[in-house]
Structures are given as structure tokens and as C-alpha cells.
């Protein structure tokens, strides 16, 4: 009897893992455990086997790391934008603007100063690390996000974390570019790099990124819902239209040298509100969420493999302290400061501040910065980022279910109600 083809073995294992992705959230609905924790553990176990391929360390595959994480983030951004029911205006989004305009800059400043003083990092490297760690992740934060479209499950905590995760990936990019400039051209005599950074990386790339995202969302909304009835895209019933909108928005915006992350989320919001009550949004969101779940699974398996391959081998207690201070002190403190003037209850402020989850977006920004700048000791940066993301996944993964269930009870909602869809990657339950 001949040995089985490795391709067939991989295909079979992939089938079991994908089925596991679909089934596991139903089991974890009431448990203090999250899907990312399980898949990191599986990835670690797979790559710890003696006959497994070389562990996928990011420094060995810099371009692949950047592109894979980029893809997962843009898919998550489209999914986050499509499920927001709330109409965009300054009053209804005031908490989001506080998180973007106050909490994120304070977080970046505090992390940069702490990275310089505690870890001894140069200014440009500390700024890159702080910028990469600043955004709340739209992929791994899905367990504290709003539910599917048109369900009405948009309490202030879940809405704020969803909208923050959708927008802050774009607004962190100027700080990443500032770190890159500091590592490359800041010391060139006679170069007006500050004006160049502000006019191009901030005003142009942010401003036109928002405008391009809005225009593409309007175009997709018109073609989908408002064209002559015989040729509307919604008549196809194909949810992968959302994937088309994602790729077009990101591609066109990046071709124009603007922030594609920002554009994708704005496209999703605009697309969503072109016909807010149409049932086709459910189809698009369901499809894009399935793509997100599969790509997230693959990436977490790879992260688990990197852990098995020794990405944390050079870590010391200084890095562990940095991770603990960032997750338990800097983000919560910056969140409370940013929300000090809001009318939210203190319990809401603490929940929003606590669940600043770090994840795939952090990996992307670090990979992008290292690939485009001149930073020393990239291996140490990957170690620091990996331990922080792992700590965040473990801490927030264990606490998200009990804390959010307690929050629902506090606001008078029964978390065990059969027709209440759990947020994020947990999907819908069948009535008991």
C-alpha cells in the first residue's frame, strides 16, 4: 500500500479545519474562550511536530507577511462597515471621533515614550512600534462588534468598538509613514520632510482616501440598488459583490496613492446606507464574514506556527512588562482620557477602553514599516509585537464572553435569548 499523497492529506486536514471554523463558535457562545485562541493553539501544535515544514517566521517571508495580513484586514474592514446600521453624523459618531482624535494620538505618544525609555528603542523605531500597536483590530475585535445588518444590536459599546476598528486602521497610517520618514530622510539637509509628510501623507492620502471611498461606495450602491430594475446587481443574489467592492475600493485608492484601508471602510458604510433596509445587505455581509473567518483561521494557524518556530525565543522580562503596561494601562488610560467628556456611563467607558484588541492590523503595519523603512533589529520588533498580540488575544479572548454577557444583563438584554445573534464571528444560533 503506497503512502498517501501529501496534497490529499493537506486537503483533508483543511476540510476538517474549515468545518471546525463553522462549528466551534456555537460551542463557545457561553464559554470564556475565543476562536482565535483555539486556532493559535492548533497552529502551534501542527508546526511543533517533527515532520512539519519550516515554521513561517515573518522575517523569512517579509513580502508575503505584508500582503497576507493586508488582505485579511481589508476583508474585515468591509465586513465591519456593512454591518453598521447607524446613520453617519457628528452626534451619533461622537464617541468614535473621540477615540480617533484623542485616544489614539495619546496611545501613540505614551507607547513611543515608553518604548524609548523602557526598551531603549531609537525614536523612529519606537514610533513605528507605537503606530503599529495603536489601532484596535477589525479582525480579532469582532467578538465585541455589532451584529449582522438590520438586527438593531448597536449598543454604544459595540458600535464604538466597531466604528473605531473600521476607521483607526486608516488614521494610524500617517504615523507609520512618519516613522518611515524619520528612519530614512529626516536627517537629509534641506529637505522639508515635515511639510511633505503633512501635505501628502496626512491631507492628501486621508482626505482623498475618504472621498474615493465615498465615491466608490456610491457607485456600487447605485449599480446594486438604483439602476433600472432588470440590471440591478442585487437581483443576482450573489454576496460576493461585497468582495468586488472591497477589491475595487482598495485597488483604485492605492493606485491613486491614498489610504486604501480608510477607503474600504468608507466604501462599506456608503454602500450600506445606499439602501439601508434592503435584505441584500444580509447576503453580502454573510459572504464577506465567511471569507473573513477562513482567512483569519489561516493567519492564526500561521501565527501559531511562528510561535512554535521560536518567534518569542529572544523575549525577556522587559518585553513582558511592556506588553502588560500597553494592554492593561496605556490603552485603558488613553481610552478613559479620550472619553472623559462623553456622556457615556463609566461602565461603558471602561469596557470600550479595555477592549482595545491588538491583532492582524498590528502585524500588517509592522511588516509594512520594516519593508519600506530603515529600521534596526526587526527581529526584536516582531518578538515584541507577537507577545503583545498573543497577550491581547488570551486576555480579551477569555474575558470577552463573561464581560459582554454581564454588560447585556446590565442594560436589560437577556444574553441567552434564542433569537439574539451573538456579535462578530459567532454567527447566529438556531432557536432551542
What CA–CA distance (Å, rounded) separates 40 from 392?
A: 13
| Stated pTM of the model | 0.89
| Whole-number Å distance between alpha carbons of 367 and 108 | 18
Q: What is the mean pLDDT of residues 405-431?
A: 59
Q: Is 356 helix (H, G, I), strand (E, B) or coil?
A: coil
State how far the Cα of 111 lies from the Cα of 406, in Å rounded to an integer: 31
pLDDT at 383 over 60: yes
Per-residue pLDDT of 72-128, as tens digits, reads 999 999 998 988 888 888 888 999 999 999 999 999 999 999 999 999 999 999 999
Which pLDDT band, with edges at 50, 70 and 90, does 138 fall under? confident
- Give 418's pLDDT tier (boundaries 50, 70, 90): very low
The mean per-residue pLDDT over the stretch 214-231 comes to 84
Q: What is the pLDDT of residue 230?
A: 61
Mean pLDDT of the chain: 85
Is 139 exposed, middle or buried (CB count within 10 Å of its CB: 0-12, 13-18, 19+)?
A: buried
- In the chain, the largest separation of any two C-alpha atoms, in whole Å, equals 73
Of 365, 388, 370, the residue nearest 311 (C-alpha): 388
Domains, in order of start, for the chain: 62-292+318-376+383-395 (1.20.1530.20)
Compute, in degrees rounded to 10, the torsion defined by CA atoms 41, 47, 49, 52: 150
The answer, yes or no, to whether residue 423 has pLDDT greater than 70, is no
Name the strand (E) or helix (H) holding 233.
Answer: none
Amino acid at each position: 500500500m503506497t503512502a498517501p499523497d501529501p496534497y490529499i492529506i493537506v486537503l483533508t486536514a483543511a476540510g476538517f479545519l474549515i468545518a471546525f471554523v463553522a462549528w466551534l463558535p456555537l460551542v463557545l457562545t457561553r464559554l470564556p474562550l475565543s476562536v482565535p485562541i483555539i486556532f493559535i493553539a492548533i497552529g502551534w501544535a501542527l508546526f511543533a511536530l517533527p515532520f512539519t515544514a519550516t515554521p513561517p517566521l515573518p522575517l523569512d517571508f517579509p513580502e508575503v507577511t505584508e500582503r497576507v495580513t493586508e488582505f485579511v484586514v481589508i476583508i474585515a474592514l468591509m465586513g465591519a462597515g456593512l454591518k453598521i446600521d447607524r446613520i453617519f453624523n457628528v452626534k451619533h459618531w461622537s464617541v468614535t471621533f473621540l477615540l480617533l482624535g484623542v485616544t489614539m494620538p495619546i496611545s501613540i505618544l505614551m507607547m513611543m515614550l515608553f518604548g524609548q525609555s523602557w526598551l531603549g528603542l531609537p525614536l523612529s523605531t519606537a514610533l513605528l512600534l507605537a503606530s503599529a500597536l495603536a489601532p484596535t483590530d477589525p479582525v480579532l475585535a469582532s467578538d465585541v462588534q455589532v451584529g449582522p445588518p438590520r438586527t438593531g444590536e448597536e449598543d454604544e459599546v459595540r458600535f464604538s468598538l466597531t466604528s473605531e476598528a473600521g476607521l483607526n486602521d486608516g488614521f494610524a497610517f500617517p504615523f507609520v509613514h512618519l516613522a518611515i520618514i524619520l528612519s530614512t530622510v529626516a536627517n537629509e539637509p534641506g529637505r522639508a520632510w515635515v511639510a511633505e509628510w503633512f501635505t501628502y501623507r496626512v491631507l492628501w492620502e486621508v482626505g482623498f482616501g475618504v472621498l474615493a471611498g465615498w465615491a466608490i461606495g456610491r457607485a456600487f450602491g447605485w449599480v446594486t440598488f438604483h439602476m433600472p430594475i432588470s440590471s440591478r446587481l442585487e437581483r443576482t443574489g450573489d454576496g460576493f459583490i461585497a468582495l468586488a467592492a472591497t477589491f475595487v475600493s482598495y485597488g483604485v485608492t492605492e493606485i491613486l496613492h491614498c489610504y486604501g484601508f480608510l477607503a474600504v471602510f468608507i466604501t462599506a458604510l456608503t454602500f450600506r446606507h445606499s439602501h439601508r433596509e434592503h435584505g441584500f445587505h444580509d447576503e453580502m455581509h454573510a459572504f464577506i464574514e465567511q471569507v473573513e473567518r477562513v482567512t483569519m483561521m489561516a493567519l492564526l494557524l500561521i501565527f501559531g506556527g511562528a510561535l512554535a518556530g521560536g518567534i518569542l525565543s529572544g523575549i525577556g522580562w522587559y518585553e513582558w512588562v511592556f506588553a502588560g503596561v500597553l494592554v492593561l494601562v496605556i490603552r485603558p488610560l488613553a481610552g478613559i482620557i479620550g472619553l472623559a467628556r462623553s456622556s457615556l456611563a463609566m461602565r461603558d467607558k471602561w469596557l470600550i477602553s479595555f477592549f482595545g484588541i491588538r491583532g492582524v492590523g498590528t502585524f500588517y503595519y509592522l511588516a509594512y514599516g520594516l519593508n519600506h523603512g530603515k529600521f534596526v533589529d526587526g527581529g526584536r520588533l516582531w518578538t515584541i509585537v507577537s507577545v503583545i498580540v498573543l497577550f491581547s488575544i488570551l486576555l480579551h479572548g477569555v474575558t470577552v464572553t463573561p464581560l459582554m454577557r454581564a454588560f447585556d444583563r446590565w442594560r436589560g438584554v437577556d444574553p441567552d435569548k434564542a433569537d439574539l445573534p451573538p456579535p462578530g464571528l459567532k454567527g447566529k444560533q438556531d432557536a432551542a
